[in-house]
A and B are shown apart, each in its own frame.
Chain A
Amino acid sequence: MKRKVISRVKLSSKVIILGIWLLFMVFPLYWMILTSLKPKNDIFKFPLEYLPERISFENYANIFAISKFHVYIGNSLLVSLLSAFIVIIISILSSYVLARFTFRGSRQIMSGFFLTQMIPMFIGFGPLYSIMSQLNLLNKQGSLVLMYSVLLIPFCTLMLKGFFQRIPSSLEEAAMIDGCSRLGGLIRIILPVMKPGISATFIFAFVQNWNELFLAIMFIDREEAKTIPVAMNSFITKFDIDWGAMSAATVLSVIPTMILFALCQRLIVQGLTDGAVKG
């Protein structure tokens, strides 16, 4: 009897805690969606409406009218995906080597990578701008791809190294005995096993790139090359924040990352489970 009561209390308190947290997490997004669906003049209307009374898509129509939002979405996708791919390829190679070999300087390289996580990047923004302008790389999406990849290499390498260390090296050694080259072994044997870990890292890289604002502002000024965060920053004008446009853009920009998260969530957790711990 007593047990049952206890477990019932436990269950209900669990439900309550999870419920409150769910509310706390979801409400901001709900509020943004609601704001984005209100007609422009209703946004500032008192009393506040908690349920949509008149749904209007004028804010969505508006952001495509006042700015080339479809272009920005395309740019963001292109830059984020491309640089996530590049960084994954580079990091797989470097982390594999760092996980499998100990050689002169390997520890220093690891510390060097770790150090980049510690240094506020803003410190190098000024010099970076002049380097990029000397290399004639300003105003190209390519420069964003390059910079995003470079900035993520250290972290992704550290992350992937953890995954590699979980995989016994006997696996590819066996393949090498069968006549595979080291690289062949890596690609054919190890990578398929690492799929969850690679996916987790890839999503991390994609999300970072998708959201990056400061570098994009600095390197890009052509209308055709802007990314979503830059465009959203433009909705903050001298007069006001255009909350209608801002909320609509927020919703649109969150959707791809949410879809990605939802689709790959199982993979991420699995990947991290494989990789994490077991120190």
Chain B
Amino acid sequence: MTGRSWKAELGFLGSYLSDRFTALLAARYFLRLVSKENGNRSLCLNLYDSMIVWLLVCGINEIMKGPWTFYNNNYFFMRGIFVRTGKKLFASALLIVTALSSLTACGSGTSSEGSAGSGSSEQVKIRMIESLTSPARTEVLNQMLTKFEEANPGIDVELISPPLDSADTKIAQMLSSKADVDVLEVRDSTVKQFVTNNWIADLSAYTSKWSGYGTLNTSAQMSANYIENKPYYIPYGLYEKILFYRTDWFKEKGLEAPKTWEDLYQAAKAITDPSKNRYGYSFRGGKGADSYIVDMVRDYNGTNTNPEDAMFLKNGNTIFSTPEAKQALENHLNIYKDGSPKDSVNWGFAEMVEGFEAGITGMLIQDPDVIDVVKQKMGEGTWSTAAIPAGPAGVTHFKVGAAGWGMAAHSEHKDEAWKLIEFLSSPEENEFFTQKIGLIPVHTTASENEFYKTGYYKPYMDMNADTAHYIPVKPETDYKGFGEWRSIIQQDTQAIIFGKLSVDDALKKWDAYWIDQKKQGK
């Protein structure tokens, strides 16, 4: 380790490079490659050449404006380096960074779009991101956005559709880094996180002036105002589970649509015939299994369950503390053991639906958006829908899920963003969307529509009409541990099935978990 300090050396090297060498060498290097002086150049070199020529051509533009934009944007950061390491080194670093960024910037053929768009001054561009993506739904949304753009010539909307699996993380990432996004999909399960981080805007100022707000039905209003009693998003649709079943198989066995969970177990058992690869029930043991177990436990507890705080009974104990809870859990496990494919211990949403569609399972409990999918794949008359089975006391609890559109708190085009949300949430557009996707609409005006009164959607109307037996509960999504809870109960139940945990121990654990949650508060 002799010689000058590394700082001196670096500084010196920097000056050397920036003063004479870089430009010269780079030019020579490129010219060598481009010129034809090499007699027998290989295929690879030929390709290199054409790429480099191309790079140069499309890079020149970026290089011209590159350094100064970069410098201005990062002035303070750069100045720190500047002062500390000396002008020369800074200059050479800048050169290299610029070269690199110009090389890469031209990779995106349309990267100039952003700056070009701002040239025509009135045109406002807003970006909207969805999370429950599927190619079919994206298509529907695009149709609506086209209509919106026609009605509002000054506004362009760009729809972002990340793959479903990573969409929530992606949205969180974009919001946390204040990326360019104005309107976003907010769901009952994500709204708490978004509000805690101050990522989405309170829409009260807009909803107070919006005529459509008054016609939102109770469930939709409740969902919109779920956090802090402020409208943080406008639901585009409501989710509520119903039972799908194979009428043809039921007829074969002389069965009727199950009224109670016990009926469901018996029906599932009767239908199951592994030799025909036919099973009773699309059991959910994988991701999202939590609500199936919790719903059943609530129903077994009957009217003791507190609808306002539904992880607890009216007497304040948790729903897992009772003997009924044990019955419920055992019934749930029996349905798996005697009436479901072995595979289903790992099934999530997609597999359940696939199992039903593929004619492997005879019953499925799912959201209304499945109706459309099943309709496309299965023949008329082979299946039908029914209300969710009840507990021994004849009571069914159900949760109304919601998803909708919210506004990014950092949006620079809040008024335009609201225009879009308002448009998407208008009774006409909402009806179009919910019918296409198969959701329960959010406006009271829609329930008169024949579409929802007959056919596969009928159980919803029945359930909503009979409030004595069908009790809506407030979701527990606002508890701090909710996210963790979902994986705990799902994994514990799998552990019971694999014989690694006993039913009693599991219930005790869950009981303790919710006592603790209650203490921690929301």
Contact = CB atoms under 8 A, between A and B. Distances in A.
Contacts of A138: 179
Given A129-B177, A130-B177, A142-B106, A238 B73 contact: no
B350 interface: yes
B136 A66 contact: yes
Contacts of A218: 166, 170, 173
A133 B173 CA distance: 10
B91 interface: no
B104 A199 contact: no
Contact of B350 (A46, A198, A236): A236
B108 interface: yes
Nearest to A231: B163
B42 A192 contact: yes
A107 interface: no
Given A187-B33, A221-B160, A239-B370, A142 B133 contact: no
A85 B158 CA distance: 32
B350 A241 contact: yes
Interface stretch (A9-17, A157-165, A222-230, A251-259): A222-230
B135 A237 contact: yes
B73 A136 contact: yes
Contact of A82 (B51, B134, B179, B359): B51
Given A140-B111, A187-B33, A237-B133, A217 B166 contact: yes
- Is the interface on chain B under 10, 10 to 19, 20 to 34, or 35 or more residues? 35 or more
A202 B359 CA distance: 48
Given A130-B177, A217-B166, A237 B134 contact: yes
Contacts of A133: 177-179
A207 interface: no
Interface in A113-129: 126, 129
B163 A236 contact: yes
Interface stretch (B24-32, B386-394, B493-501): B24-32
A83 B105 CA distance: 12
A178 interface: no
B357 interface: yes
A140 B108 CA distance: 5
Given A82-B51, A85-B47, A237-B134, A195 B100 contact: no
Max chain A Cβ within 10 angstroms of own Cβ: one of B44, B136, B178, B349: B44
Given A67-B135, A191-B45, A239-B353, A234 B164 contact: yes
Nearest to B370: A239
B373 interface: yes
Contacts of A192: 40-42, 45
A90 to B, nearest CB: 10
A142 B111 contact: yes
A186 B292 CA distance: 67
Given A130-B177, A138-B179, A183-B28, A86 B103 contact: yes
Nearest to A46: B277
A188 B38 CA distance: 7
A198 B101 CA distance: 25
Contacts of B178: 133
Interface residues of A, number: 61
Contacts, number: 149
Interface string A65-81: 01100000000001101
Interface string B87-131: 000000000000011011111111100000000000000000100
A145 interface: yes
A145 B51 CA distance: 14
Interface string A82-113: 11011011000000000000001000000000
A35 interface: no
Contacts of B133: 234, 237
A125 to B, nearest CB: 9
Max chain A Cβ within 10 angstroms of own Cβ: one of B47, B164, B369: B164
A234 B370 contact: no
Nearest to B373: A239
A221 B354 CA distance: 28
B132 interface: yes
A238 B134 contact: yes
A184 interface: yes
Interface in B348-400: 349-350, 353-354, 357-359, 369-370, 373, 377
Contacts of A222: 158, 160
A247 interface: no
B304 interface: no
Nearest to A81: B51
A239 B350 contact: yes
Contact of A187 (B32, B106, B134, B170): B32
Contacts of B139: 66
A59 interface: no
B165 interface: yes
B48 interface: yes
Interface in B138-173: 139, 158-166, 170, 173
A142 B135 contact: no
A235 interface: yes
A221 B111 CA distance: 13
A241 B104 CA distance: 34
29 contacts: A44-B358, A44-B359, A46-B277, A66-B135, A78-B109, A79-B107, A133-B178, A133-B179, A136-B73, A138-B179, A140-B105, A140-B111, A143-B108, A146-B100, A146-B101, A183-B28, A187-B38, A199-B44, A217-B163, A234-B162, A237-B350, A238-B164, A238-B350, A239-B134, A239-B350, A239-B354, A239-B370, A239-B373, A242-B135
Given A67-B135, A195-B42, 19 more contacts: A44-B359, A79-B107, A85-B47, A86-B103, A130-B177, A142-B108, A149-B104, A183-B32, A187-B33, A191-B44, A195-B44, A202-B44, A221-B161, A223-B160, A225-B110, A234-B135, A238-B369, A239-B354, A241-B350
The 10 closest A-B pairs by CB, nearest first: A237-B134, A233-B163, A142-B104, A142-B107, A140-B108, A141-B108, A146-B104, A145-B107, A66-B135, A221-B160
